[in-house]
């Protein structure tokens, strides 16, 4: 997050301050104390496809490590893209396998 302070005096003169950058989602909450480290920032709560892909991805990655790591290390804002990608690929493979099974079933009967 880029922040620039802009001040206006009584004569409507604007004074632009120095620009600085903060990263509120890097699990290092020095400035932003309003959220816990593991709380997600959803772009849109109605976006169920992304949320489902995220969950599948986080669960699959957690299972890949046989539960040796905490689930919160996989399911957080930093890992969102990885989880969504893994979950999306998993869902895509399931759909392809489902239609392949339907095709095989229709050939027999």
Give pLDDT tens digits for 5-42.
Answer: 777 777 888 777 766 566 555 555 555 455 555 555 55
Return the pLDDT at 104: 93
Radius of gyration, alpha carbons of the chain: 22
Query: Which residues, 6 or more positions from 63, have their beta carbon under 8 angstroms from its beta carbon?
Result: none
Give the span between the Cα atoms of 78 and 24, in whole angstroms: 11
CB count within 10 Å of CB 51 equals: 16
CB 60 within 8 A of CB 83: no
Return the pLDDT at 79: 87
């Amino acid at each position: 997050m880029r922040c620039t302070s802009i001040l206006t005096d009584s004569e409507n003169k604007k004074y632009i301050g120095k620009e600085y950058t903060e990263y509120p989602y890097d699990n290092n909450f020095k400035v932003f104390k309003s959220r816990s480290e593991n709380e997600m920032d959803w772009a849109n709560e109605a976006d169920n496809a992304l949320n489902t892909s995220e969950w599948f991805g986080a669960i699959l990655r957690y299972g890949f490590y046989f539960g040796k790591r905490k689930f919160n290390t996989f399911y957080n804002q930093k890992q969102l893209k990885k989880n969504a990608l893994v979950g999306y690929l998993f869902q895509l493979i399931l759909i392809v396998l489902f239609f392949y099974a339907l095709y095989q079933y229709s050939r027999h009967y």
